[in-house]
Amino acid sequence: MSVIEKPSETSEAPTIPSFRALILEDHDFQRRIGVQILRHCGASSVQEAADGATALALVKAASQPIDVMLCDVNMPGMDGLAFLRHIAEQGSTSSVILASALDASIIRSAEIMAKSYGIRLVGVVEKPLSRDKLMPLLLRHFSQNVVAHRAAVEPMPLEEIKRGIRDKQFEPFFQPKVDIRSGTLVGVEALLRWRHPEAGLVPPAFFVSVMEREGLISPVTFTLIEGALTHSRRWRDLGLDVPIAINISVESLSDTSLPDRLEDLTKVAGLTPSALTLEVTETVAMTDLGRSLETLARCRIKGFDLSIDDYGTGFSSMQQLTRLPLSELKIDQSFVTGAAGQPVLEALIETSVMMAKRLHLKTIAEGVESSEDWNVVSRLGCDAAQGYLVAKPMPGEQLADWYQGWMKNHAGA
């Protein structure tokens, strides 16, 4: 199973292994340029098609899977949109990069369409193509293949998960949240990892949904919080005094004794509720509304902070702002990663930040992967950033060393 994740990879220079590519582009000259650029970026073979039907035939005839498809959207005959639908129906696992000069709102729809068909969409490159534009997307393709793709994962078997819980193989990793102006650490998010004896480090996509379905997530969350608070005490001894954010599932929210149990845990660790921030998604907070609101309001009264997670991805984001007792808003990574030069995404971030400010909520941009992402969220007024540019989730023991290096390299930059 290829789910092994290398912890904290931020300092490594990115390299691209050779890959097989296909380019779908009706314009002859642009297609020839595209082939050259793909080869220059490390493609070992590049198949060419001037329309969707030809591309589809090439995909079907290919003896080995194509790793990356560079796909124009608009062309005579079968266009890029129909081509993507067909390859999705065939269960394609290729990564797709859209290349287009079309209006941003059309491209945005094409992106969402591709994702909802289950296509592994890496991003969009604006035409004319260049190596500088394509390279960051290829790097993203290869990094996404290190960590298994969210939509494509097969959950681990229930019995194995239960065994993992019994053998205490689940632990928190921590991802920093930093202040955008000063670079200082303002919090960490605890993210579950399974240290599997054979598969290595397994990310939550392989087990959280099963735990939620089988009523296992609450006990695991409590174990995670205990582990996280132990790290918190150690960090405090080293002068790092930051809240830890915990992801809370719907099952835990329906338990109205959650606030008391959380308070007990913080007390036992010698800390106060300000040591924990609860992250809930919009959808989670909509299930069993009465109980969820009772639990969340009591948590806030006791002094825990409350963050709305993946903001903007639910069906009633604004309505949730009116009824949840929030202190923080996390703008979902799908709006942040690659937002530079995308007017729709920039507008969305800007509006979310404006609204959060009016409601006296802090804003955190998730999925800040590049300096371009950082500059956008900084310009649009976000308070804090979280993402691979800052650091990947890491074991608690590495946080203090990471922070020392981060401040040396980035403070004041």
Query: For residue 61, what are its two tokens?
Result: 């005839």
**By CB under 6 A, is residue 247 in contact with ligand C2E?**
yes
Binding span for ligand C2E by CB under 6 A among 90-98, 103-111, 257-265, 363-371 = 363-371
* CA atoms within 13 Å, Cβ hemisphere of 14: 17
Q: What is the dihedral of CA 106, 108, 114, 117, to 10 degrees?
A: -100
Q: Can you say whether residue 222 is alpha, beta or left, with left for phi > 0 and alpha for psi between -120 and 50 degrees?
A: alpha
- First CA to last CA distance, the chain: 40
Contact pattern from residue 288 through residue 317 relative to ligand C2E, giving x for each residue in contact according to CB under 6 A and a dash for the rest: ---------------------xx-------
**By CB under 5 A, is residue 383 in contact with Ca ion?**
no
Side-by-side strand order, sheet with 68-72: 43-49, 19-24, 68-72, 95-100, 120-126
**By CB under 6 A, is residue 208 in contact with ligand C2E?**
yes
**By CB under 5 A, is residue 279 in contact with Ca ion?**
yes
| Partner interacting with residue 208 (select from ligand C2E, Ca ion, none; CB below 5-8 Å by kind) | ligand C2E
Nearer to ligand C2E, 249 or 342 (CB): 249
Nearer to Ca ion, 52 or 367 (CB): 367
Residues 305, 243 contacting (CB under 8 angstroms): yes
Nearer to ligand C2E, 48 or 189 (CB): 189
Task: Indicate which residue of 226, 366, 369, 397 is catalytic.
Answer: 366
Nearer to ligand C2E, 52 or 387 (CB): 387
Nearer to ligand C2E, 31 or 141 (CB): 141
* Alpha helix positions (H), 2-130: 28-40, 52-61, 80-89, 104-116
Contacts of residue 108, defined as CB under 8 A and 6 or more positions apart, other chains included, come to: 342, 344, 345
**By CB under 5 A, is residue 309 in contact with Ca ion?**
yes
| Partner interacting with residue 79 (select from ligand C2E, Ca ion, none; CB below 5-8 Å by kind) | none
Binding span for ligand C2E by CB under 6 A among 226-234, 268-276, 351-359, 381-389 = 381-389
Binding span for ligand C2E by CB under 6 A among 22-30, 216-224, 234-242, 287-295 = 216-224
Binding span for Ca ion by CB under 5 A among 217-225, 274-282, 355-363, 376-384 = 274-282
| Partner interacting with residue 334 (select from Ca ion, ligand C2E, none; CB below 5-8 Å by kind) | none
Query: Please, which residues bridge with residue 175 across strands?
Result: 189
Residues 45, 81 contacting (CB under 8 angstroms): no
**By CB under 6 A, is residue 92 in contact with ligand C2E?**
no
In the residue annotation, 126 being an active-site residue is answered as no
Nearer to Ca ion, 8 or 247 (CB): 247
Please confirm whether the linkage preceding 393 is cis (ω < 30° from 0). no
Number of H helices, E strands in the chain: 16, 15
Binding span for Ca ion by CB under 5 A among 72-80, 192-200, 246-254, 343-351 = 246-254
Least CB distance to ligand C2E at residue 245 (A): 9
Among 92, 218, 221, 363, binds ligand C2E (CB under 6 A): 221
User: Buried b / exposed e across 189-212, counting CB within 10 Å, b at 16+?
Assistant: bbbbbbebeeeebbbbbbbbebbb
How many angstroms separate the CA atoms of 92 and 67, rounded?
A: 10
Question: By rule CB under 6 A, what count of residues binds ligand C2E?
Answer: 23
Query: For residue 5, what are its two tokens?
Result: 């994740």
Q: What 3-state class would DSSP assign to 308?
A: strand
Q: Which residues bind ligand C2E (CB under 6 A)?
A: 175, 191-192, 203-205, 208, 217, 221, 224, 247, 249, 309-310, 333, 337, 367-369, 386-388, 393
Q: Which residues are catalytic?
A: 366
Q: Which residues bind Ca ion (CB under 5 A)?
A: 247, 279, 309
